């Protein structure tokens, strides 16, 4: 296959359909568990605090294993990692549905997290193989659209299933979809040449330990855990990170892609993304509190008014994808993030008793800005990496997103602890600051325009 031309039609359509299906399952499964948590806790006679690990175990495993699986994809092929992840996700979904205790369900969710990480770690690298370079922005926009739609319909799907069936069906519905996706994927997904360097198991373990400690520490800081424990976890994470980076520096294809971070435009794209997803999560976590406690709205009204943000992304992502194939991503990202920052300030200054329409159009402004930024940023990140390091770039794409979201959620908890009365509004201002910072970082990429996009 000519890597510059992507897959021929109609194989390209089948391949992107498989990638979209896998990403949809992984994203929706993260959302439906949140909605179903009270029901699951009740049926399994578990406390709310213990049942939270149904969600946490899934998310934590994904973050810890994204980069190792992306590195494995560079070595043995993205197709193999993706299909194996999809098959594991499908099998563990069946195990989740059969779980008769909280311990069994959490164990199945851990396995499901590894499957989801296999899907997420190489999905962007596969898109680079599926689409020709000149249409890469369109391929990435499909991925962004799928994620946005999945985020919108996740709670609705969960509520719909629970209205007619018991909670195990939330996981059982994944099984037939996953089986179909695996069968099609075996035939349609592209193969890529890997390399014969041995997989670095020690670095994989160190990577998992670093991200696990760091996320637990940041989460503990936000929830007000004992400071000595949090400080100890942060110190331990820093020590592991130091030795991990030192181990990676001399390697040609490191698991932690320090080689890619030496590319200025790649590093700036990572910084832009972390700041922007931190801003997004600050808003997503704080807005329900503002709407219900500050504006006196119901849960249903809150859910409805949270929808314009991801809904606008669904429509703007394809347009942003086409623009990303023609205009500098640094400029598009900078402009989009300025719009996001303005939208967040508008939400923070909506007043004491805003009309629903006043909130809806402000949320739409935020979605417009985020949608214009996301696809061009991801396109430049992938294009800046050498083709044989697409797996590392794809893994970083998922890692920076989850890192930004984790940091944003922890900051909300910290802000609420310091200023509970005005916490939601302060969080929105902080989010606007992160978006503005991300805009500046994005625009800095224009200075590196002479950097060559490797096909």
Enter the CATH code of domain 257-455: 1.20.1250.20
Residue 246, pLDDT > 80, answer: yes
The arithmetic mean of pLDDT across residues 233-242, rounded, is: 91
CA–CA gap between residue 399 and residue 210 (Å, rounded): 13
Residue 309, pLDDT > 90, answer: no
Q: What is the pLDDT of residue 223?
A: 63
Residue 339 vs residue 200, higher pLDDT: 339
Encode pLDDT of 398-423 as tens digits.
888 888 887 887 788 788 878 877 88
Phi, psi torsion values for 99, nearest 5 degrees? -65, 130
10 prior amide bond cis, ω within 30: yes
Q: Are 323 and 380 in contact (CB under 8 A)?
A: no
| Run of H or E residues at 217 | helix 201-222
CA–CA gap between residue 12 and residue 6 (Å, rounded): 8
Backbone torsion region of residue 45, taken as left when φ is above 0, otherwise alpha when ψ lies between -120 and 50, otherwise beta? left
CA–CA gap between residue 64 and residue 337 (Å, rounded): 28
Q: What is the pLDDT of residue 290?
A: 85
Residue 263, pLDDT > 70, answer: yes
Band (253; pLDDT cuts 50, 70, 90): confident
Encode pLDDT of 424-446 as tens digits.
899 999 999 999 999 999 888 88
Domain spans, the chain = 1-197, 201-250, 257-455
Q: Are 414 and 221 in contact (CB under 8 A)?
A: yes
The arithmetic mean of pLDDT across residues 352-375, rounded, is: 90
Q: What is the pLDDT of residue 110?
A: 93
Q: What is the pLDDT of residue 296?
A: 82
Band (1; pLDDT cuts 50, 70, 90): very low
Residue 324, pLDDT > 90, answer: no
Residue 355, pLDDT > 50, answer: yes
Using a 10 angstrom Cβ sphere, with 0-12 exposed, 13-18 middle and 19 or more buried, the burial of residue 116 is: buried
Q: What is the pLDDT of residue 114?
A: 94
Three-class SS state of 42: helix
For the chain, how big is the Rg over CA atoms in Å?
21
Residue 86 vs residue 216, higher pLDDT: 86
CA–CA gap between residue 395 and residue 124 (Å, rounded): 8
Q: What is the pLDDT of residue 80?
A: 92
Band (314; pLDDT cuts 50, 70, 90): confident
Give the position of tokens 């698991």. 255
CA–CA gap between residue 281 and residue 79 (Å, rounded): 31
DSSP 253-284: S-SS-HHHHTSHHHHHHHHHHHHHHHHHHHHH
- Quote the pTM value: 0.80
Band (177; pLDDT cuts 50, 70, 90): very high
Exposure letters 65-80 (e unless 16+ CB within 10 A, then b): bbbbbbbbbbbbbbbb
Residue 281 vs residue 243, higher pLDDT: 243
- Asked, colleague to colleague, whether 1-197 and 257-455 share their fold, the answer is yes
CA–CA gap between residue 281 and residue 402 (Å, rounded): 10
Q: Are 142 and 49 in contact (CB under 8 A)?
A: no
CA–CA gap between residue 179 and residue 18 (Å, rounded): 11
Q: Are 120 and 58 in contact (CB under 8 A)?
A: no
- Give Cα separations from 16 to 7, 183, 288, 402 (angstroms): 10, 14, 34, 23
Assign domain 1-197 one CATH number from 3.30.420.40, 3.40.47.10, 1.10.150.130, 1.20.1250.20.
1.20.1250.20
Band (449; pLDDT cuts 50, 70, 90): low
The arithmetic mean of pLDDT across residues 84-113, rounded, is: 93
CA–CA gap between residue 235 and residue 253 (Å, rounded): 27
CA–CA gap between residue 424 and residue 416 (Å, rounded): 7
The arithmetic mean of pLDDT across residues 266-271, rounded, is: 89
| Count of other CB atoms within 10 angstroms of residue 187 | 10
CA–CA gap between residue 179 and residue 124 (Å, rounded): 21
- The candidate with the shortest Cα–Cα distance to 237, out of 258, 206, 267, 261, is 206
Q: Are 6 and 131 in contact (CB under 8 A)?
A: yes
Q: Give the CA angle between residues 438, 375, 344 to the nearest 5°.
A: 45
Q: What is the pLDDT of residue 4?
A: 61
The arithmetic mean of pLDDT across residues 366-382, rounded, is: 88
- The candidate with the shortest Cα–Cα distance to 435, out of 382, 376, 366, 379, is 366
- Give Cα separations from 335 to 328, 338, 370, 381 (angstroms): 11, 5, 10, 17
Mean pLDDT, the chain, as a whole number? Answer: 85
CA–CA gap between residue 85 and residue 123 (Å, rounded): 11
């Amino acid at each position: 296959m000519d890597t510059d031309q992507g897959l021929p039609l109609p194989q390209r359509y089948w391949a992107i359909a498989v990638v979209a299906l896998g990403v949809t399952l992984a994203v929706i499964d993260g959302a439906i568990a949140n909605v179903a948590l009270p029901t699951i806790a009740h049926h399994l006679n578990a406390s709310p605090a213990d049942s939270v690990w149904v969600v946490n175990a899934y998310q934590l495993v994904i973050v810890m294993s994204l980069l190792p699986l992306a590195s494995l994809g560079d070595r043995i092929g993205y197709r193999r990692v993706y299909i194996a992840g999809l098959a594991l996700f499908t099998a563990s979904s069946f195990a989740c549905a059969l779980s008769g205790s909280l311990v069994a369900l959490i164990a199945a969710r851990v396995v499901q997290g590894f499957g989801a990480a296999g899907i997420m770690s190489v999905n962007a690298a596969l898109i680079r193989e599926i689409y020709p370079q000149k249409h890469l922005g369109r391929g990435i926009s499909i991925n962004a659209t799928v994620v946005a739609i999945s985020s919108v319909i996740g709670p609705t799907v969960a509520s719909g299933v629970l209205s007619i069936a018991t909670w195990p069906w939330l996981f059982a519905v994944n099984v037939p979809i996953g089986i179909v996706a695996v069968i099609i994927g075996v035939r349609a997904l592209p193969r890529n040449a890997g390399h014969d360097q041995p997989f670095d198991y020690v670095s994989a373990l160190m990577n998992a330990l670093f991200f696990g400690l760091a996320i637990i520490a940041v989460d503990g800081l936000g929830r007000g855990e004992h400071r000595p424990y949090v400080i100890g976890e942060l110190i331990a994470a820093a020590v592991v990170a130091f030795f991990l980076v030192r181990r990676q520096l001399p390697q040609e294809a490191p698991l932690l892609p320090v080689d890619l971070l030496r590319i200025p435009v790649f590093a700036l794209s990572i910084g832009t993304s972390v700041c922007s997803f931190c801003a997004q999560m600050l808003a997503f976590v704080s807005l329900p509190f503002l709407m219900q406690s500050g504006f006196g709205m119901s849960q249903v009204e809150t859910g409805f008014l949270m929808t314009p943000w991801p809904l606008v992304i669904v429509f703007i992502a394809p347009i942003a994808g086409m623009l990303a194939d023609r205009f500098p991503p640094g400029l598009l990202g900078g402009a989009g993030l300025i719009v996001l920052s303005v939208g967040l300030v508008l939400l923070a200054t909506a007043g004491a008793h805003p009309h629903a329409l006043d909130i809806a159009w402000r949320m739409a402004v935020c979605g417009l800005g985020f949608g214009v930024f996301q696809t061009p940023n991801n396109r430049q990140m992938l294009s800046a990496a050498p083709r044989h390091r697409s797996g590392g770039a794809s893994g970083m794409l998922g890692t920076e997103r989850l890192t930004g979201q984790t940091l944003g959620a922890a900051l909300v908890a910290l802000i609420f602890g310091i200023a509970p009365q005005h916490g939601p509004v302060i969080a929105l201002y902080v989010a606007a600051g992160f978006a503005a910072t991300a805009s500046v970082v994005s625009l800095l990429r224009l200075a590196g325009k002479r950097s060559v996009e490797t096909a």
